[in-house]
Amino acid sequence: MTPLGPASPPDPAAPAPPDHGPSHPWETCVWPLAAFLALGALEPSPSGGGLAASLGIPMSAYPAVYALRLAVTLGLLAWHWPTIRGWIGRASCWPALLGLFLVIPWVVLATLQREAGWAGWAGGTGERAAFNPFEAYAGNPIATWGYLLLRGLGLVVVVPIVEELFLRGFLMRYCIDEDFWKVPFGSLTAAAAGACAVYAIGTHPAEAVAALAWFGIVTGIAASTRQPIDCILAHAGTNLALGAWVIATGAWWLM
């Protein structure tokens, strides 16, 4: 029989166990986007269809509904932020800079798809709100820029975080192993790449060609650096440039 004795101290030279995801991975990676998409069903659309129309929500209520959508999603992110922050990695500059340039193929391909008449192939599914605050709040600059700040918060901060946590933090890894938190971030298989393509088309039907190209490039960033923050920053960079393009050109159909 082995004699009992004091436990051996941990070896400081031993490698730390791999950290492939935050604690409570389902709640952290899935719930924020699920809430964001679910509340998005309440947003009115230019065509006047969908759940918002059946509930009698007018287009003028879009900013209020969007604010509610952001508030709930931000609450979920804030609740889980301590564990998210410790997992996503250290920020570097180049992914955001690359994301800024990626707005060019996004706008070009989305415009070509629209001009080719492919934008309506999904029967209105995923229709953009195209809410123009310069028209809706003509003569009221405080309301106009207040809305733009709200929309910018969602576009540049909230959407990149929740979408990357879901797509590359959960969905693509779940296609590799049901215990997705055990799969290293950035792992890539044919099934994971296929899931990414389906997600890109399903969530961006009016810009499906652009979404396929853009999401494919950012998947390459994930596979290269293995850090969630790089994908989030690339996403934020593209969305920031897209918002600036829309304001400058009036192409509100992109938002």
- What pLDDT is attached to residue 201? 95
Residuewise pLDDT in 10s, the chain (255 residues): 444 545 555 555 544 445 566 778 999 999 999 999 999 999 998 877 788 888 889 999 999 999 999 999 999 999 999 989 889 999 888 999 999 999 999 999 999 999 998 765 555 556 788 999 999 999 999 999 999 999 999 999 999 999 999 999 999 999 999 999 999 999 999 999 999 999 999 999 999 999 999 999 999 999 999 999 999 999 999 999 999 999 999 999 999
Nearest C-alpha neighbor of 58 from the set 205, 50, 176 = 50
Q: In the structure encoding, which two tokens stand for residue 84, read together?
A: 């998210």
24 backbone φψ class: left, alpha, beta (φ>0; ψ -120 to 50) = left
- 57 contacts: CB under 8 Å, gap ≥ 6: 42, 43, 44, 65
- Supply the DSSP string of 112-176, one letter for each residue: HHHHTT-TTTTTTTT------HHHHTTT-HHHHHHHHHHHHIIIIIIHHHHHHHHIIIIIHHHTT
- What pLDDT is attached to residue 214? 98
Sign of the CA dihedral with 167 first, then 171, 176, and 180 last: positive
